[in-house]
Structure 1
Amino acid sequence: MLKRIATDQLRPGMYLHELCGSWMDHPFWRSRFVLKSLADIEKIRSSGISEVWINVEVGMDVDGGANETEVREEIERELEAAATAPSPLIDLPRSRDEQLAQARKLIGRSREAVTSMFAEARLGRAMDVGQGRRLVEEIAGSVMSNPGTLLSLARLKTQDTYTYLHSVAVCALMVSLGRQLGLSDAQVREAGLAGLMHDLGKAVMPPPVLNKPGRLTDEEFAIMRTHPERGHALLLEGGSAPPEVLDVCLHHHEKVDGSGYPYQLAGDQISLLAKMAAVCDVYDAITSDRPYKMGWDPGESLRRMAQWKGHFDPLVFQAFVKTVGIYPVGSLVRLHSGSLAVVIQQNPASLLTPKVKVFFSTKSNQRIVPEEIDLGSPWCKDKVMGCEPPDKWSFKDIDRLWAGEAARP
């Protein structure tokens, strides 16, 4: 049986099943092993992770904690509460295929622009955010006219494009989250620019460390943790970045409980935009494939992030859930009918009833002819029962099911 406990309850002899945090936050190559020493326990605690899952069937138990059912019910209640507020209705352009094609073209142009900016930084040239502002305008326009499309498509990256498209994705997420939080148009664009520039410091990280196809050593991890300060210095030298952008670049890895970096800021010491960037940065990182780690399913990622107490500002995270949907586009879900489906579009009137593409029957354990179903239709009797981990079913074409040709590398 699995049980979630606080890290201060860890003892040698326990079987660690999973760390309640992003793989970027902890120093272990694997997360399932018997804790044999106090040094390993201290390493977990010092990483800023406050809770873990243990398997009490193969390791030592402890009083307290919560079992899988209790945690799942708690998280579902929290996410459904966050999703109940209606989102603004926005006119969509012609068809999903056209939306995806437009978004793919914009992502291509954005990748080229961000690649150029990073190259300038590597050459030691002063950064001018003017080019970034023009790009933010285009990204903001796409997000406002095609909610969900650009956000979801920007999640699909290759090893070679990750660093650049991550900046584009965080920019788009910041714009969308800023609108959800009711920021002014000017503030939304500053948030987008901050998202675009937040990882500029990675441009001057040693390539063998930045592009390493595996877990970083402690020394390499320490080098990567300098990227917020390096990026802040580059923007400060350029002289054209507004204070909000400088702040986000420096503080997007801070956590509300004070366990982040580089300055261990806590609570209200962290600005709203930096709190927004913390959520957007982590969500895009953990849902994207990396050389050493497959990205988590979007819906499952939200459920895991909801468990990381002390990492994110609760109100900002609730707004983020409304931004991407309780079942984000690309999520694999199980329906009441026993079918499996992938989410293809949000329902602005109800985030609990998205449009899905059904493609697998768990009753017959085989593929069926794909069919699009609008769960928000008054004639639809089916409903989502929960997210499903794609690796449980070994599906290799989830992205192509919802994005079509736009999902190709």
Structure 2
Amino acid sequence: MLTRKSLIVNQLFRADLKLKKISTSQVRLGMYIQSLEGNWFSHPFWKAKFVLYDQADLEALQSSKVSAVWIDCSKGIDVTEIVENLGQERKQALSYTEKLLQKPTHASTTVAEELHRASQILNHSKHAVMQLFNDARLGKAIDIGQCLPTVEAITTSVARNSSALIGLARLKTKDEYTYMHSVSVCALMVALSKQLGLDEEQTREAGIAGLLHDIGKIVIPRVVLNKPGKLTDDEFSTMRAHPELGHAMLLKSEMIPQCALDVCLHHHEKVDGTGYPHRLQGQQISVFARMAAICDVYDAITSNRPYKEAWDAASSLARMAKWTGHFDKEIFNAFVKTVGIYPLGSLVRLNSGNLGVVIGKNPDRLSKPIVRVFFSLQSNTSIFPQVIDLSQPSTTDRIVSREDPAKWGFKNLESLWC
């Protein structure tokens, strides 16, 4: 049990950081939890650092095995009795980003409502992954605590509206592909987990696995990783080593879920046994690795990369469906439901003779998404944009085909939906 004296000493000793160690029984709503004593799996939270908003979370913490926590008094309320003793008063001071990432807002939102928030989360996540990968490149062990806040932020955005963050994540540049690919696969793994009905812990581990699946690429020479042309046989062999290299790196770290180790090693296996590194087939490949194989490929082919331009999302799904022996069929069907037959940003032709871009999906009517019509094929000219929900009974328009934006010379379709 922490005494009043020890609490004051803790506060004065770490005054420059404004951190204070207190017993779990003294935790109150509005405090900013900087860290919890013990390992990650001894407490009920995904987050590394967060503001305690919810009474249920407070009760869960106080009934857990965590005996003490560190709080940051500059970002949340102080321990009342200590504040009074020192003759000070602090006010809760939360930055916009902290509210964005930490406040547990799970209510469903539209794509438009979630886009700005998702953009901020992606930017924050990119920098977190860059730091994580750079630390690993320097030989430091992967800290699972660095992963969890990113996974939590992505998960809450996906819970509100999966299309927004997943759609925006496709719009990465070639230079940031290595980092943003990990963020995108994390989001896709979380969304697919929810579609498959996995529980909270499994979803969390799937997100961590997605975030770390390509960690081995940090030791692949950049001249190979970013080569704009076709790889030589030797370069291809070097590239194919990244699953085993990543797996060896993760084995040196503490508290990495077994799921993440398996996905890192086996996300390039194929159900017909022609994948690598172990040529596993069918049920020999774990469910999580089969999920990751789909998420990894989808994000790769729909992103701009040093050696190829992105394929549009809708036709990418159609192509993947034809790759016999590559993916688990049931999981792939669930993935299609996750991103939609016509993913966010897809260009479609309507029977009215207009072109539109998909700006939202209807989960129960995947063939009838929400589109923004902007171009008339009859007059071959742009028209004033109009939003149409194709699932509405009053709507007679329907999609007759997917269209390739490059064919029509549309280079900035994202301006119509994000």
Deviation, 1:147, is 2.1
2:204: which partner in 1? 189
2:328: which partner in 1? 313
1:218: which partner in 2? 233
1:286: which partner in 2? 301
Is 1:164 the equivalent of 2:195?
no
Q: Which of 116, 124, 130 is 1:115 aligned to?
A: 130
SS at match of 1:385: strand
Give per-residue Cα distances to partners, 1:28-48, cap 9 Å, x unaligned. Answer: xxxxxxxxxxxxxxxxxxxxx
CA distance in 2, matches of 1:367, 1:399: 16
Normalised by the length of structure 2, the TM-score is 0.73
Deviation, 1:91, is 4.8
Of structures 1 and 2, the one with the larger relative CO (CA 8 A, separation 6+) is 1
1:395: which partner in 2? 410
CA distance in 2, matches of 1:196, 1:153: 17
Q: Which of 314, 330, 333 is 2:348 aligned to?
A: 333
Kept in 1, the 8 Å contact 2:269–2:276? The answer is yes
Deviation, 1:197, is 0.5
1:92: which partner in 2? 108
Larger Rg belongs to: 2
Task: Give the partner amino acid of 1:217.
Answer: T
Q: Which of 291, 300, 314 is 1:276 aligned to?
A: 291
CA distance in 2, matches of 1:366, 1:222: 49
Task: Give the partner amino acid of 1:258.
Answer: G
CA distance in 1, matches of 2:214, 2:264: 7
Task: Give the partner amino acid of 1:278.
Answer: A
2:244: which partner in 1? 229
Normalised by the length of structure 1, the TM-score is 0.75
Is 1:373 the equivalent of 2:379?
no
Matched pairs, number: 313
CA distance in 2, matches of 1:117, 1:389: 37
Residues 141-152 of structure 1 mapped to structure 2, 5 A cutoff: 141-152=156-167
Deviation, 1:130, is 1.7
2:264: which partner in 1? 249
CA RMSD in angstroms, aligned pairs only: 1.2
CA distance in 1, matches of 2:379, 2:308: 31
CA distance in 2, matches of 1:357, 1:91: 25
Is 1:199 the equivalent of 2:188?
no
SS at match of 1:148: helix
Task: Give the partner amino acid of 1:205.
Answer: I
Kept in 2, the 8 Å contact 1:121–1:204? The answer is no
Runs of 4+ in 1 over 6 A off after TM superposition: none
Deviation, 1:217, is 2.0
CA distance in 1, matches of 2:401, 2:366: 13
CA distance in 2, matches of 1:285, 1:401: 23
Q: Which of 356, 361, 371 is 2:371 aligned to?
A: 356
Deviation, 1:96, is 3.9
1:106: which partner in 2? 121
Kept in 1, the 8 Å contact 2:337–2:363? The answer is no
Task: Give the partner amino acid of 2:138.
Answer: L
Residues 172-187 of structure 1 mapped to structure 2, 5 A cutoff: 172-187=187-202
Percent identity, aligned pairs only, is: 58
